[in-house]
Chain A
């Protein structure tokens, strides 16, 4: 039955991932356009989206390259933006750690904000899901997202400025993430962690990009765990 559960997990994952395409398409387009305007050719823009697949750090890298920053500075700042994914990796380990190495390697490649957010929300409500179904779910979430991310990076890089900036899609991602977090706020510890995260991230917004959210995340995890320790698990 393992393959059946994996398949149904995959289907559920695809459905859960679909709303995020609303955000992935304009984000990818925008990256392609910005990369083209910075002077990268279409192959280099695609190189970023295939090899790095981490939108925020790609924008950081291209922005610094536009400013002719030294190579090491481009790398340091962009990697700092991605450090939060170490927390995602640690958080997925209790759910997916028993998978064979190649499957864990595949999850790692696809471990970005959207896939982590959607999958961990699901794992939290159904921790008893078999690990094969959890893997299927994760891969399902990325299945509609990954091809669109690549295709629209290419479209943006080739079409360049021809893309009009209609619609306020800049706020699609915050709304989707907050809507995902809402149902997770089921105990005082979760609420305390979320509030800590917002306050610390806003207070540290002036730090180099990626650093603030990293510290905010660590502080919020400590607060959540401490509230849980004192009050018992809700």
Chain B
């Protein structure tokens, strides 16, 4: 790494400010005004729209296998989602998913 100390702190500072502005954006500027129904209808789906896409590449091409497709992690991901949905409970999903991953790896 060939940055000066001030360059490193500039990166940290600007990244911090930029990240904060992204997080503050809608929450800060719109405040208590009501957003149009059309927008609210889209926002209702934010968690289910972002989180699966965030973790899908980690399940299909995990860093732990050097990016090679890993059936164990894919199976664990599907079991987690299915059991959490079926029992309507997060913890059951976690237990089932972790158990699936552990079992497949022990069985290998």
Contact = CB atoms under 8 A, between A and B. Distances in A.
Contacts of B92: 179
B67 to A, nearest CB: 10
Contact of A225 (B11, B45, B62): B45
A180 B44 contact: no
Interface in A137-165: none
Contacts of B47: 91, 116-117, 120-121, 124, 180-181, 184
A33 B94 CA distance: 27
B23 A181 contact: no
Contacts of A61: 11, 15
B40 interface: yes
Main secondary structure on A side of the interface with B: helix
Given A181-B47, A221-B46, A222-B42, A175 B22 contact: no
A170 to B, nearest CB: 5
Contacts of A222: 42
A91 B90 contact: no
Contacts, number: 292
Interface string A122-136: 001000000000000
Interface in B1-53: 1-3, 7-16, 18-20, 22-28, 30-35, 38-53
B15 A90 contact: no
Chain B interface bracket (under 10, 10 to 19, 20 to 34, 35 or more): 35 or more
Contacts of A14: none
Contacts of B7: 71
A208 interface: no
A212 B62 CA distance: 16
Chain A interface bracket (under 10, 10 to 19, 20 to 34, 35 or more): 35 or more
Contacts of A179: 80-81, 84, 90-94, 97
B49 A194 contact: yes
Contact of B81 (A78, A82, A182, A212): A182
Contacts of B40: 94
A194 B52 contact: yes
Contacts of A97: 27, 30-33
A93 B26 CA distance: 7
B27 A181 contact: no
Nearest to A179: B93
A29 B101 CA distance: 23
Given A220-B48, A220-B50, 12 more contacts: A52-B12, A65-B11, A75-B11, A75-B15, A82-B23, A87-B49, A120-B47, A171-B101, A174-B55, A179-B84, A198-B52, A217-B50
Interface of B: 1-3, 7-16, 18-20, 22-28, 30-35, 38-64, 73, 76-77, 80-86, 88-94, 97-98, 101, 105
20 contacts: A48-B15, A61-B11, A65-B11, A85-B22, A87-B43, A96-B27, A104-B31, A108-B23, A170-B64, A171-B58, A171-B64, A178-B51, A178-B84, A182-B80, A194-B52, A198-B53, A201-B53, A202-B57, A221-B43, A228-B44
The 3 closest A-B pairs by CB, nearest first: A182-B84, A224-B45, A201-B53
